[in-house]
Amino acid sequence: MNTQMHKSLNTQPEESELKFHCPVCGCNEFEIVETGVVAFSPILKVTATGGAQYSKTLHDYTNVEEKWYECARCDYRLEIDGDTISAPDDKLLLAWFRINDEGGY
């Protein structure tokens, strides 16, 4: 009896994970795409022979124009009733998963 009590105290309720399943190509990877992100690399030095050494690429997100979710393989954009879901929107993302839930994935 003690063991069971101990178990139930340590067991976190696990949230079931919804799996992406692209309706076009069947791929199970998806991503957020952002346009308007500026990437820049500080120049560390330029040598007399013309070689340049750059630092790690940094990103400026201040002018992000548009974000959406899409399939990582075929570029299908997640949409509901023909409208592309603007990211991030957890509620619409969940709605998309519910609409497209085929079970077993």
Q: Pick from 22, 85, 87, 93: which binds Zn ion (CB under 5 A)? A: 22
- Least separation in angstroms between residue 79's CB and Zn ion is 13
User: Tokens 């560390």 belong to which residue?
Assistant: 44
Token pair of 30, please? 């998806």
Options 3-11, 28-36, 73-81, 88-96: segment touching Zn ion (CB under 5 A):
73-81
Q: Pick from 69, 70, 71, 85: which binds Zn ion (CB under 5 A)? A: 71
CA distances for 105 relative to 17, 22, 30, 56, angstroms: 10, 11, 14, 38
CA dist 59 and 37 (Å) reads 7
Q: Pick from 27, 33, 37, 95: which binds Zn ion (CB under 5 A)? A: 27
Token pair of 7, please? 């178990």
Token pair of 70, please? 């899409």
* Helix, strand counts (H, E) of the chain: 2, 8
Task: Indicate whether 43 belongs to the interface with Zn ion (CB under 5 A).
Answer: no
Residues of span 74-93 touching Zn ion by CB under 5 A: 74, 76
The residues that touch Zn ion, with contacts defined as CB under 5 A, are 22, 24-25, 27, 71, 73-74, 76
